[in-house]
A and B are shown apart, each in its own frame.
Chain A
Amino acid sequence: MTSSAASQPPDRAQRLATLPMEKTSAKIPFFASGLPTLREIWRRRELVGLLVRRELRARYKGSSLGILWSLIKPLAQLLVYYFAIGQILGAARSIPSFAIFVFIGLTTWTLATEILTSGTRSIVDNAGLVKKVTLPREIFPLAAVGGALVNLGIQFIVLVVAMIAVGEFPLNWGALWVIPSLLLVVTFSSAIAVLLAALNVYLRDIQHLVEVVLIVAFWTSPIVYAYSFVSNLSLGWVLDAYLLNPITLGVLGMQRALWVAGAGIPGSFPTHLGLRIVIAFLISAVLLWISHRIFQKLQGNFAQEL
């Protein structure tokens, strides 16, 4: 031991001596719980909050409307769909409270797309930090999910105000469908986002691919048309496939919770919607675990690939 090491204040050395040596290079087995990482992320939860704030502050810095912009985009979409599809193509005739209906779907859909697009880019966008700072990299997709949830919150306030304004606020237990529906959407989108965030480091095409896929996927969920339009086509197995999409189930669940005017119409919702949501949630949870394992496998090389 060197002389300077021997003369150091003993308390720090003694404390260090009691700590276990942690292997930072350990090859992580694929079938592991990932709990140590989750504990570490929980310890750094304040950082996630700060990163979310950084994202939101930075995105709207210098614009006078600020965070209101995150509302204007879905409201513009709402107007387009309301007039183009509702009035001109006539969907509003068979869907009561069409504006509310579309906004419920859009809010849910925006949550999913934001998690998927910003989550996928999160590692590459934060390359500077990934290469220079020691921290669990899962924090970046997590912060993307946090940012999407903040935007969801803002849109949700507008939705509630609108429902009260037209006198269709769901004052019953059915409103609790919101909770499992959102849980399903967040879990499923996060599972895909975590996986794609890792893959995007190796193949940057993925972030563009996601955007294209989402444009198509928008029409595979009953957002601007009602579920009954699809089920009335008697498509057989195609309908079953349609209902396998967790985001579709999440959108249907949200409509079940908040679309008061449609609750009484037979055929508005598929059979066993609750059971479908629960099963899809469980599968998504397993997917999230699997994609987290893959993320852990791949993250060792992030610093050199970026």
Chain B
Amino acid sequence: MGAPEIVRLEGVSKRFVLLRDKSFKERLLNVSASRSHRQEFWALRDIDLSISSGTTIGLVGHNGSGKSTLLKLVGGIMQPTSGSVSRRGRLAALLELGAGFHPDLTGRENVYLNAALLGLSRRDTRAAFDQIVDFSGVESFIDTAVKFYSSGMYVRLAFAVAVHVDPDLLLVDEVLAVGDEAFQEKCLDKIREFQREGRTIVLVSHAAKQVEEMCDRVAVLHHGAMIFDGDAAEGIRVLRSQTDDTV
């Protein structure tokens, strides 16, 4: 039996409309001219992508190539302008570490809140709580408000929560470069463990070396179009060859 498909994108395009005027007054004054104040911008054009479960796929490309937008579409945070996105299984999106952390709440309270945001029930969180704290290495400060944390402690705790939600599909956006070297090693170990457990990982990263090491597939985006999809080493070569003709 082949691995089941977990994400499918068909003919996905995303258009952003940039409005130059935002306030009510300006809109009233510019009713007639409002068309000319719109600026359209296609972040993604006609993307087809099918990801089978167990794959680790890297989305690479230069700034503004649309890779983060693509990740948000997969995560359902944005809706495509045209085309369709389907997926199944439990999703955890690491688009920003500690989104939903409240500075005034303690580490413990934030763990429960953040785990709930990622879809974990209170019971499951309680069961995983010691593991989370252990992984993050902030035991002695867990009942301190997180505004007193160092930035390293903050992201470590956030990362620890995120990797304990037991996702089938993990979306990661540039967040692996957190903490000191020892913690980064720990994160990478966790990612490899995820791969062994057959979880699917979609990774957006600028670190070409990291992508080449971890991913078994790479999609290269360039100005919103997918110009390569396949073997990781080959993908990185394609990416590098694009370096020179950036605008």
Contacts and interface: CB of A to CB of B under 8 A. Distances in A.
- Asked if A and B are interacting partners, one says yes
Interface stretch (A101-109, A126-134, A254-262, A287-295): A126-134
A37 to B, nearest CB: 13
Interface in B42-63: 52-56
Contact of A2 (B24, B76, B119, B217): B217
B4 A47 contact: no
A94 interface: no
B79 interface: yes
Q: Which of A17, A47, A53, A204: most chain B Cβ within 10 A?
A: A47
A6 B5 CA distance: 12
A51 to B, nearest CB: 8
B168 A16 contact: yes
Interface string B216-233: 110000000000000000
Nearest to B121: A46
Contact of A131 (B55, B77, B89): B77
A128 B99 contact: yes
Interface residues of A, number: 48
B84 A4 contact: no
A49 to B, nearest CB: 9
A53 B53 CA distance: 37
A88 interface: no
A22 B87 contact: yes
A16 B6 contact: yes
A46 B122 contact: yes
A294 to B, nearest CB: 15
Nearest to B56: A4
A54 B105 contact: yes
Contacts of B24: 203, 205
Interface string B70-87: 001101111110011111
B52 A1 contact: yes
A23 B3 contact: no
Contact of B79 (A22, A129, A300): A300
A172 interface: no
B4 A17 contact: yes
B198 interface: yes
Interface string A8-33: 11101110110111111110000000
Report the interface size class on chain B. 35 or more
Given A44-B119, A57-B104, A16 B4 contact: yes
Contacts of A44: 116, 119
A114 to B, nearest CB: 20
B2 A303 contact: no
B198 A8 contact: yes
Interface stretch (B90-98, B131-139, B148-156, B204-212): B90-98
B203 interface: no
A29 B41 CA distance: 26
Interface string A128-156: 11011111000000000000000000000
Given A16-B168, A24-B87, A300-B79, A61 B5 contact: no
B65 interface: no
Interface in A47-81: 47, 50-51, 53-54, 57-58, 61-62
Contact of B95 (A10, A21, A132, A205): A132
Given A46-B116, A58-B102, A19 B216 contact: no
Interface in A186-204: 203-204
Given A2-B55, A12-B198, A50-B116, 19 more contacts: A1-B2, A2-B216, A3-B216, A4-B55, A5-B3, A12-B54, A12-B168, A12-B197, A16-B53, A21-B8, A22-B87, A23-B85, A51-B113, A53-B109, A128-B100, A129-B100, A132-B93, A133-B95, A204-B23
9 contacts: A8-B54, A16-B53, A21-B87, A54-B109, A61-B145, A128-B99, A131-B95, A131-B99, A203-B24
Q: Give me the 4 closest cross-chain CB pairs, A-B, nearest first.
A: A8-B198, A300-B79, A8-B54, A5-B3
Interface of A: 1-10, 12-14, 16-17, 19-26, 44, 46-47, 50-51, 53-54, 57-58, 61-62, 128-129, 131-135, 203-205, 300-301, 303-304
